[in-house]
Amino acid sequence: MNKHKDQRYILALREGSYGLLEELYQNHAPQISQWVQRNNGSADDAQDVFQETILALHQKAADPTFILTCPIGALIFQISKNKWLSQLRKKNRDAEVRIAEEERYKYEGSILPTLEEIEETEIQHQKLDQTFKQLSEICQKLLRLLAEGVSSSEAATILGMSNANTVYRRKNACGERWRALYLALN
Amino acid sequence: MMNENDYKTIDQYLQGALSDEQEAMFKKRLAEEEELAAAFAIKQQMASYLKAKSQQPALEAEMTVLGQRYFKTSKPTKAKLIKMPFLRIAISVAAALVLLMLVWNPFNSGDLYTQFAEHPPLALIEKSISSSLIQQAEQAYANKEYETVYTVLASILENNPGNPQMKLAMGISALELGKLETAQQIFSELANGTSGLKSYGQWYLALSYIKQGKDEKAKLILEKLNNDEAALKKKAAKLIELLQ
């Protein structure tokens, strides 16, 4: 599958540089807003759904192996649509939905594999979240610090551990605990 | 069978610390050894999760601003108020920026920046430089026209050593414009120097880390803040508390 030119949005999300984010809002917020409002939602609902969609894309973007192979607009539309539909289902209002597809979002190729990938990552993310919170305070702090790019020796200072080696061993222990909790959930 | 070395190798691979040869060998093993591949997949997911989580506050803050701009809501936007033990943010209907308290507690810092980024008035004086340029920068700073401040000061400081006030004003402008690397360079210089604005350098360096979601780094600096500026020290104490 070939990398789509919209991969640049994924890269921007991955790097945490949100300059391109406004483009996504500019180009796609109006259509999503319209669709949600035509399907029993408010502008507020549309804003929430759009935000959740971007978050889902951001989570997927954090996977360094992920490559976008379809137009991002089509993907955004499908994700938003699915999220809104599942919300309506919860409120039993999906019978009133007109699943009129936005003409400009009809995409020739298959988006389905990407959609499934993203959904899978969302579920993984939730489980990792849940189990992370079960770790000790110091484990959470340690893993967070190291993920922020702080060096092991810096982390040792911040957390009052003897040295970088201690940090490394503690990190492994915390990681193992987290892994065990996570696997137990599956 | 997996051994301790395997876990170490996985870590090194994820950090890009393997040589080309080692990396090629590792990838081959991933394709052949199921257990290794499974352990690797989980580690990869955890790394991605932590990365996304650390970026989340800044992303959510950005989305709040953009949401206001691109979704016309008929009533004042409801903020998702999450129960935080110490802070409840009031929503200002007229405000362009809505302050949201974010769900994820430990990484919560996206809107803390906005709360604490109240910039001090700065008088920019430099004998050797044309007063009209300085006046322009000063005026722009007072009007929060950070693009102008940045451009004017950058050009002045290119050919002049300038003074700490100018550097701080330029750093603040860079920070407001999102030019974080430049901002941090300037603030570090001030923080490590001996000028009267040393504490401000430290304070703003911490704020810039908060903007990036690097709470722990920010806390480290705030805790070491010099005692000479009582007002800053007080703000720092408050911020440290909020970062717990």
**pTM exceeds 0.80 for this model:** no
Residues 6+ apart with CB under 8 A from B42: A179, A182, A183
Contacts of A64 in chain B (CB under 8 A): 48
Contact criterion met (CB < 8 Å) for A129 and B49: yes
- The 10s digit of each residue's pLDDT in A145-184 is 998 888 888 899 988 899 999 998 999 999 999 999 999 9
Number of A–B residue contacts, CB under 8 Å:
116
Report how far residue A112's alpha carbon sits from residue A86's, in angstroms, rounded to the nearest whole number.
17
Contact criterion met (CB < 8 Å) for B216 and A50: no
**B106–chain A Cβ distance below 8 A for any pair:** yes
Q: What is the residue type of A13?
A: L
- The 10s digit of each residue's pLDDT in B31-66 is 999 999 999 999 999 999 999 999 998 899 999 999
Q: Which of residues 196-225 of B touch A (CB under 8 A)?
A: 212-214, 216-217, 220
Confidence bin at B126 (pLDDT 50/70/90):
low
Q: Are B171 and B189 in contact (CB under 8 A)?
A: no
Residues 6+ apart with CB under 8 A from B188: B201, B205
- The 10s digit of each residue's pLDDT in B170-202 is 999 999 988 999 999 999 999 988 888 888 899
Contact criterion met (CB < 8 Å) for B47 and A129: no
**B62–chain A Cβ distance below 8 A for any pair:** yes
Q: Are B162 and B190 in contact (CB under 8 A)?
A: no
Distance from CA of A125 to the nearest CA of B (A): 6
- Of all residues in chain B, the percent with pLDDT exceeding 90 is 30
Predicted local confidence at residue B77, as pLDDT: 45
Predicted local confidence at residue A104, as pLDDT: 54
- The 10s digit of each residue's pLDDT in A74-119 is 999 999 999 999 888 887 765 555 555 555 566 656 888 999 999 9
Q: What is the residue type of A173?
A: A
Contacts of A124 in chain B (CB under 8 A): 45, 49
Q: How many CA atoms lie within 13 A of A132 on its CB side?
A: 21
Alpha-helical runs (H) found in B90-192: 112-116, 131-142, 146-159, 164-176, 180-192
**B127–chain A Cβ distance below 8 A for any pair:** no
Q: Are B126 and B160 in contact (CB under 8 A)?
A: yes
The closest CB to that of A18, out of B52, B62, B70, belongs to B62
Closest residue of B to A33, CA-based? B71
